[in-house]
Amino acid sequence: MINYIDLHAHMVSRTTDDYHAMALTGCVAVTEPAFWAGYDRVAASAFADYFKHLTEFEPQRAAKYGIKHYTWLCLNPKEGEDRGLAREVLAIIPQFLDRPSVLGIGEIGLNRVTRNELATFIDHVELALEHNQLIHIHTPHLEDKYKGTKAIVETLASNSRIDPSRVMVDHVEEHTIRMVLEHGFWAGLTLYPMTKVSPGRAIDMLEIYGTERLCVASACDWGPSQPLAIPNCMFEMRRRGHSNQWIHEVVYNNPCRFLSQSPKFKFAPLEQPALVH
Amino acid sequence: MQIEGSCPRTQRELIELEFIEHRTKILDIAAFLDRFDRSVEHNANDDFRIKAFREALKALNSYEFGRVERIQMLLSDVSSELRAERDGQSAYGAAKESEQ
């Protein structure tokens, strides 16, 4: 079994048994973007509690299973419509950025592709630039994905201070992957049942576009999702006829290449896959 | 970007490995459409989602590479205007005709 890194996992909504299963299948690190709680929070203090949870409790819970837990901070796109709340949350984020497990700003982006959501997205990008943070981007769901991804890519491309190699545009699909890669960003394939991509489609895109600047992740959360989505995809990769080295590049080395642009990230690419235990 | 020869399995191997799985999926789609016809009340034949679904099925029948991307676009909002305000938290799976 090959070690892997899940670059997108909402572990606050998963059980400790999931950490156990992930450890057994070779997971050595997860990164957890800030997320929507299932309801719109009404005060910045609720986000302060959430950021404390992400940076204190969750790393301890993961460490018990030998998994290193990192995080990203923001007000999630689903709450970006409330500009007043967004400004309050943006004001408290800097006090958490120096914490040892915080890799950057994310997952920011668009949900229903509104004017206010775009304004909140731009504010987060400015915060990331001001504090020299990596950026992790959520692209919208279903019929909104193409329009939202296009708006995000055009917004970032028009800002000369953005280094695209420090930006991960997540949840790409067949109709958005090209525009993301062509602009020099990293792209994330999300192994999420029904609303994102299956292992088969993710592997198709890796075969067609190559493995450079592409990662896979589970995005497991409180919806129908799979914390073991990456090892499931690795099984499909082998069944498709891909080598251990090819799989290792996708599930371990590529996340390391993107994430190690933050000095806090402690894993580095390995020439050969490390075997689990 | 490489299309020709990018899948390491032969066509024969793909059929042996995946035909039954995809046979099941196509029967599920057919059963959904039959169930839709048997419905106790026919009140959504012009629903934007079912109309987009039927267009997607036509695109599926193509012999030309790029079916997934074309179907994704048929199920997408291709307008470029930002919404004035949020109309809810969830997407629907196909664009409403007024937004196309």
For B34, the domain range is 9-41
Q: Is residue B1 one of the residues assigned to a domain? A: no
Instruction: With CB atoms and an 8 Å threshold, state whether A147 touches B69.
Output: no
Distance from CA of A219 to the nearest CA of B (A): 17
Q: Is A145 on the interface with B (CB under 8 A)?
A: yes
Q: Is residue A140 one of the residues assigned to a domain? A: yes
**ipTM of predicted assembly, 2 dp:** 0.95
Q: Is residue B84 one of the residues assigned to a domain? A: no
For A60, the domain range is 4-259
Instruction: With CB atoms and an 8 Å threshold, state whether A142 touches B93.
Output: yes
What is the average pLDDT value for chain B, to the nearest integer? 95
Q: What is the pLDDT of residue B14?
A: 98
* Spatial separation of the C-alpha atoms in residues A204 and A236, rounded to whole Å: 11
The CATH number assigned to the domain holding A145 equals 3.20.20.140
Q: Is residue B65 one of the residues assigned to a domain? A: yes
**Percent helix, strand and coil across chain B, each rounded to 5?**
50, 0, 50
What residues have CB less than 8 Å from B71, skipping those under 6 apart?
B56, B59, B60
Q: What is the pLDDT of residue A213?
A: 98
Residues B48 and B71 in one domain: yes
- Give the start-end residues of each E strand in chain A: 4-6, 27-32, 68-73, 102-109, 134-138, 167-169, 186-190, 214-217
- Kindly report, residue by residue over B38-60, the tens digit of the pLDDT: 999 999 999 999 999 999 999 99
Q: Is residue A274 one of the residues assigned to a domain? A: no
Q: Is A238 on the interface with B (CB under 8 A)?
A: no
Read off the pTM: 0.97
For A38: left if phi > 0, alpha if psi spans -120 to 50, otherwise beta; the answer is: left
Counted domains in chain A: 1
Q: What is the pLDDT of residue A276?
A: 56
Mean pLDDT by 10 residues, chain A (277 residues): 96 98 98 96 97 98 98 97 98 98 98 98 98 98 97 98 98 98 98 96 98 98 96 98 98 98 98 74
Counted domains in chain B: 2
- Kindly report, residue by residue over B9-36, the tens digit of the pLDDT: 999 999 999 999 999 999 999 999 999 9
The structure tokens listed for A160 are: 């000369």
A118 closest CB neighbour out of B2, B17, B82: B82
CB pairs < 8 Å spanning A and B: 93
